[in-house]
Structure 1
Amino acid sequence: MKRVQRAATRMIAGLRGCCYTERLHATGLFPESYRRVRGDIICVRRILRGDMGPELMEYFPLREHTRTRGHGLTLLKLSSVGLPLRFRLSRKVTNLWNSLPADVVEEVNDKMFKRKLDSVLRTMWYADLS
C-alpha cells in the first residue's frame, strides 16, 4: 500500500520535486503509521464496548478516579516492566485514547465516531508536521 501511495503521489506533475510527507499533505493522504494508529484506536473502542468479547476488557482497565475534565472512559496506563505481548496494544494506545475529546469517545454511532476521530487525528498529524 505504501509503495502504491508513493507512486501515485509522484505522478502528480506539480509535486514531483517535493518530499513524501509534503506530497501526502498536498493530496490529503496519510502515511501508514497514521492508518495503523487509527485502526488501533478503533480496535480499543470495540474492546471497551464489549464487541470483541469480555475477556479482552481486562487488558484495558478504566481509571477509577475521573476528574472533571476529559471523558469517562479514561484508561489506566499499565506499567511496562515485564509487560507480556498481549498488553502492548493497551500500552501503545493509552495516551492517545486519553487525549481524545469527550465528544469523540462517547459517540454512539460508528460512522460518526470514525469521522470525528479522523478530524481529531488529522489536526494532531498536521500539527506534528508543522
Structure 2
Amino acid sequence: MDLLERVQRRATKMVRGLEHLSYEDRLRELGLFSLEKRRVQGDLIAAFQYLKGAYRKDGEGLVTRASSDRTRGNGFKLKEGRFRLDIQKKLFSVRVVKHWKRLPRGAVDAPSLEVFKARLDEALGNLV
C-alpha cells in the first residue's frame, strides 16, 4: 500500500460515526473510490477522450479499435498498440484495454465525456 492510500485510509477513519466500519465500507459511505480505482478511472477517461479524437498526435497508435464484428460485451473492443520503446505507453495501453473490455455497452457508447464519466462511476461503483 502506498503512502497516499494510507493517508486516505487514515483520513476516512477521522469521520465521526464511520470509525467502526472497514475501509471499503467507509469509502462506500463517503462516495469515494480507492486510489487504485481512481487511477483506473483516469486511464479510462483518457482512453475515451483519445478515441473521440483528442490526443491524436501524442498518443498515435496507443490503442486501436479491434476490427472484429464478433464481440461479446460492450461491442467497442480495443487492442493494444505495439511499441518497441517507451515502456510507460505500453503499460498504459495494457491497463486500459484490460479494464475497457469489462465496461458495459452503455458506458463505451456514451455520446459525451460527461455521460461517459457518470456511467463509468456507476460501473466502478459496482466493483467496490
TM-score, normalised to structure 1's length?
0.77
Aligned counterparts of 1:59 and 1:68: Cα–Cα separation in 2: 21
**Identity level (%):** 32
Counterpart of 2:41, as a letter, is: R
Residue aligning to 1:33: 36
Unaligned regions of 5+ residues in structure 2, if any? none
Farther-moved stretch of structure 1 (78-87 vs 36-45): 78-87
Instruction: Tell me which of the two structures has the higher relative contact order, counting C-alpha pairs closer than 8 angstroms and 6 or more residues apart.
Output: 2
TM-score, normalised to structure 2's length?
0.78
Bigger strand share? 2
Unaligned regions of 5+ residues in structure 1, if any? 126-130
Query: Number of aligned pairs?
Result: 125
Counterpart of 1:124, as a letter, is: L
Q: RMSD of the alignment, in Å?
A: 2.8
1:6-28 per-residue CA deviation (whole Å, 9 max, x = no partner) reads 45422233222333223222322
Aligned counterparts of 1:83 and 1:55: Cα–Cα separation in 2: 13
Aligned counterparts of 1:107 and 1:82: Cα–Cα separation in 2: 33
The Cα of 1:118 is off from its aligned counterpart by 0.5
**1:82–1:117 distance in 2 versus 1, CA, 3 Å:** same
Is 2:48 the partner of 1:42?
no
Aligned counterparts of 1:64 and 1:99: Cα–Cα separation in 2: 18
